[in-house]
A and B are shown apart, each in its own frame.
Chain A
Amino acid sequence: MAKPKKGTSQERNEFIWGWAFILPTMIGLIILNIYPIFKTIYESFFKTGDFGRGNVFIGFQNYITMFKDAEIWQAVINTFKYAIVEVPFSIAISLVLAVLLNRKMFGRSAYRTIFFLPMVAAPAAIAMVWRWLFNAEFGLLNHIFGTSIKWVSDPKIAVFSIAVIGIWSIIGYNMVLFISGLQEIPGDYYEAASIDGATGIKQFFHITIPLLSPTIFFVTITRVIGGLQVFDLIFMVMDRNNPALYKTQSLVYLFYQNSFVENNKGYGSTIVVLLLAIIMIITVFQMIAQKKWVHYN
């Protein structure tokens, strides 16, 4: 393809306007995302001094400490446990809800609004409410079921209880994305399928899921990343004295503890770099795997 030596004035114009339109986003990304990423990687090689002064270069020492630190690996396990529960359940539930709420039915907007509401509430407020629902002594859940399960302080189940909150708060958002995807699917397919005698369930698996796969893929990618970054729910629900904390704290929680509570920003940065690496690897695998199951028309 022969490149034009000199663009026409219209091409130049489009070039300038194109950049002008993405400039706000670019600046935001560079200042708020890209620069901090490199700054964090840089700081992970330092023993940071108080108030960001007197940083001492220590090479890979933080990384060596981290790889020997059992707490970190427990946090990796905790983070994965959370994500493995939150992501599939939130996607499956919201997919079913989206299909149900995509039909013509009475009170459709009301239902959609109700399911989307958790998304509007502040995560901290949600966590506070759930903390009391889960409370073993006075909590509503134990009261209704007549049980005395220690939802958030039994090390075996606490991380799953937290995941329940995560699922509950993200369903509405996933659902809205799925509904918009569903509306892209032409009605003819369903019509043809029902003439051929396909049941609703068959239609769901053979028409809806394949044609919705780009949206499902997008939601999966963003939810896996979001799930691995879980912090606020754990921070708000788990008290420092909580015996289940060790088996519940996520990587971001440990990052917060180290960076902002213990004031060891260098080590905190190292933890975040580990998380970044994990997320990158998983996302690359997802990108490769999508060729097998995502259909772009």
Chain B
Amino acid sequence: MKNMKKFISLGLVLVMMATMLTACGSKSGSDSNSGSGGSGKLTVAIWDNSQQAGLQEIMNDFTAETGIKTELQVITWDQYWTLLEAGASGGDMPDVFWMHSNEAVRYMSNGILLDLTDKISASEKLEMDKFPADIKEMYEWDGKVYAVPKDVDTIAMWYNKTMFDEAGIPYPDGSWTWDEFYEIAQKLTKEDGSQYGFACNPSNEQDTWMNIVYSMGGTILKDDNTSGFDDPNTIKAMEFLDKCIKNVMPDANTMSETGTDVLFQSGRVAMISQGSWMVAGFKANDYLVENCDVARLPKDATTGQSVSLYNGLGWAASATTSMPEEAFQLIEWFGTKEMQTKQAELGVTMAAYDGVSDAWIKNTDVFNLQPYLDTMDNIVFRPHTNATLSWWNPMVEELKKPWNNEESMADACANITKQMNDTIAQEAN
């Protein structure tokens, strides 16, 4: 039985090691948290790495002005929401953080966010009327305000100048139609698979395919909060997309494994549609700086419209923060005209504050960013309901099937319609 005993003791040692490791983990975790409350340091959480440097500079100014210390944490998009959810369910939350239209209602309606209504109306620095109404309303619930708009983002088409030159195609000037776009993409697709005209994953919703839907007169969500995937124009746009998938894009395996932006950066794809939030990262990429530029999204020949989706993040604070006054001071600071301008000048993102985004256009001379601003004359707010994610994720999931030729696009649209309507109906209960 000697060996049996050894087996048991080995097992016990393993369990003990695991316990110790987890204990160590949680200990260091609580240390950093107590640091945030105890020493009067505001913790700020964001998910975009490429905005870190610029925001840090704005926060340094804040510390210099008010003497309130801050600490900026960057967490990847997926983990950001897991962390925030865990914090809201009874752990420690960061004091100040970004809010997104996907999740805002859930956080506001459950009282997770600090009510800023009175503080905003008492503020002398904030000019809320300078922010876009859609974004302000997004962060209001039950007559109360929970976040101050941080930025706006729009969509434009990135193209590889070198590939256009090689094929003898003039650069797009923004007056093109989706049909012309398709012809160009076809010309830029090489038979041997070394180069494709366009790339888009099912999850490139806001930055790619949803824009085609709205340009062609379709919609994702109808005014009565039912699915827009049975709208003939939506179906028309999705069929157009299907044609692109089959003829001018790399296969779905390649796009999912490598990512459309990486394919574009490595010269395998001639055009991708991307949001203004990517510019900060793109301008640090030598290949893109040398070869690429930006054009406005194509128009639809029938409607004559070139529509860009837009969205805006908000600065929110935790309802359980130990320093609500200081947290609001920081949010207020981010929302002032000076700091909104600075955010644009530093090239962090476009500003939510009306009229200061010209500074963002000038933040770099390696790309022509004007199309991102031009498109502001025809924009649609990113579709959302009270529980956006509950139908959004299954929608993306369903679209993987036509992408992989497992289902026709028409069937996918029918399935999404049913699924969306069921989910949104449940939301109301």
A positions within 8 Å CB-CB of B? 24-25, 28-29, 32, 50-53, 135-138, 150, 152-154, 184, 214-215, 218, 239-245, 260-263, 296-297
Please tell me if B23 contacts chain A, counting CB pairs below 8 Å: yes
Which residues from chain B contact A296 at a C-beta distance below 8 Å? Answer: 1, 3-4
Q: Which of B12-20, B129-137, B174-182 contacts A (4 or more CB under 8 A)?
A: B12-20
Can you sample 21 A-B contacts with CB below 8 Å? A24-B19, A25-B16, A25-B19, A28-B16, A29-B19, A51-B88, A136-B253, A136-B254, A136-B257, A137-B268, A138-B266, A150-B253, A152-B257, A184-B3, A214-B6, A239-B256, A241-B255, A241-B256, A243-B252, A245-B400, A297-B3
B positions within 8 Å CB-CB of A? 1-4, 6-7, 10-12, 15-16, 18-20, 22-23, 78, 81-82, 85, 88-90, 106, 109-110, 112, 201-203, 252-259, 263, 266, 268, 389-390, 393, 396, 400, 403-404
Instruction: Given A137-B254, A138-B266, A261-B393, check contact A240 B203 (CB 8 Å).
Output: yes
Check B257–A135 contact: CB distance below 8 A. Answer: yes
Check A243–B203 contact: CB distance below 8 A. Answer: no
Select one of B202, B256, B390 contacting A153, CB under 8 A: B256
Check A135–B258 contact: CB distance below 8 A. Answer: yes
Check B110–A150 contact: CB distance below 8 A. Answer: no
Which residues from chain B contact A53 at a C-beta distance below 8 Å? Answer: 110
A50 to B427, CA, bound (A): 12
Which residues from chain A contact B203 at a C-beta distance below 8 Å? Answer: 240-241
Which residues from chain B contact A218 at a C-beta distance below 8 Å? Answer: 7, 10-11
Instruction: Given A218-B10, A297-B3, check contact A243 B16 (CB 8 Å).
Output: no
A245 to B257, CA, bound (A): 11
A29 to B4, CA, bound (A): 22
Check B258–A263 contact: CB distance below 8 A. Answer: no
Which residues from chain B contact A243 at a C-beta distance below 8 Å? Answer: 252-253, 256, 400, 403-404
Which residues from chain B contact A261 at a C-beta distance below 8 Å? Answer: 78, 81-82, 389, 393
Select one of B10, B12, B89, B201 contacting A241, CB under 8 A: B201
Select one of B6, B16, B89, B396 contacting A24, CB under 8 A: B16
Least CB distance from A12 to B in Å reads 24
Which residues from chain B contact A29 at a C-beta distance below 8 Å? Answer: 15, 19
Select one of A32, A153, A240 contacting B19, CB under 8 A: A32
Instruction: Given A214-B7, A241-B201, A297-B2, check contact A50 B253 (CB 8 Å).
Output: no
Instruction: Given A50-B110, A52-B90, check contact A240 B396 (CB 8 Å).
Output: yes
Which residues from chain B contact A150 at a C-beta distance below 8 Å? Answer: 253-254, 257
Select one of A25, A28, A52, A262 contacting B89, CB under 8 A: A52
Known: A32-B19, A153-B257. 8 other contacts (CB 8 A): A28-B18, A50-B106, A135-B258, A150-B254, A243-B400, A244-B253, A245-B400, A296-B4
Which residues from chain A contact B85 at a C-beta distance below 8 Å? Answer: 51, 260, 263
- Give the 9 A-B residue pairs with the shortest CB-CB distance, closest first: A28-B19, A153-B253, A241-B256, A241-B201, A242-B256, A243-B404, A52-B89, A214-B3, A150-B253
Least CB distance from B377 to A in Å reads 32
Least CB distance from A28 to B in Å reads 3
Chain A, residue nearest B396 (CB): A240
A169 to B197, CA, bound (A): 39
A138 to B19, CA, bound (A): 41
Check A262–B253 contact: CB distance below 8 A. Answer: no
A51 to B393, CA, bound (A): 19
A273 to B132, CA, bound (A): 47
Select one of B12, B252, B255, B268 contacting A25, CB under 8 A: B12
A32 to B1, CA, bound (A): 30
Which residues from chain B contact A242 at a C-beta distance below 8 Å? Answer: 253, 256-257
Which residues from chain A contact B88 at a C-beta distance below 8 Å? Answer: 51
A260 to B80, CA, bound (A): 11
Chain A, residue nearest B266 (CB): A138
Kindly name the residue among A51, A53, A154 whose own CB sees the greatest number of chain B CB atoms within 10 A: A51
Which residues from chain A contact B263 at a C-beta distance below 8 Å? Answer: 137
A184 to B3, CA, bound (A): 9
Which residues from chain A contact B256 at a C-beta distance below 8 Å? Answer: 153, 239, 241-243
Kindly name the residue among A50, A215, A218, A260 whose own CB sees the greatest number of chain B CB atoms within 10 A: A50
A150 to B266, CA, bound (A): 19
Least CB distance from B286 to A in Å reads 17
Chain A, residue nearest B405 (CB): A243
Which residues from chain A contact B404 at a C-beta distance below 8 Å? Answer: 243
Which residues from chain A contact B254 at a C-beta distance below 8 Å? Answer: 136-137, 150, 153
Select one of A153, A184, A262, A297 contacting B393, CB under 8 A: A262
Least CB distance from B201 to A in Å reads 4
Which residues from chain B contact A260 at a C-beta distance below 8 Å? Answer: 81-82, 85
Chain A, residue nearest B1 (CB): A296
A261 to B2, CA, bound (A): 47
Least CB distance from B185 to A in Å reads 19
Least CB distance from B428 to A in Å reads 15
Check B258–A241 contact: CB distance below 8 A. Answer: no
Chain A, residue nearest B250 (CB): A137
Chain B, residue nearest A139 (CB): B257
Instruction: Given A138-B258, A239-B257, A262-B393, check contact A51 B110 (CB 8 Å).
Output: yes
A218 to B11, CA, bound (A): 9
Least CB distance from B191 to A in Å reads 16
Least CB distance from B100 to A in Å reads 14
Chain A, residue nearest B87 (CB): A51
Least CB distance from A267 to B in Å reads 12
A214 to B2, CA, bound (A): 11
A20 to B135, CA, bound (A): 59
Kindly name the residue among A52, A240, A244, A262 whose own CB sees the greatest number of chain B CB atoms within 10 A: A240
Chain A, residue nearest B256 (CB): A241
Instruction: Given A260-B82, A297-B2, check contact A25 B257 (CB 8 Å).
Output: no
A240 to B400, CA, bound (A): 9
Chain B, residue nearest A235 (CB): B78
A113 to B333, CA, bound (A): 54
Check B2–A239 contact: CB distance below 8 A. Answer: no
Chain A, residue nearest B258 (CB): A137
Check B257–A137 contact: CB distance below 8 A. Answer: yes
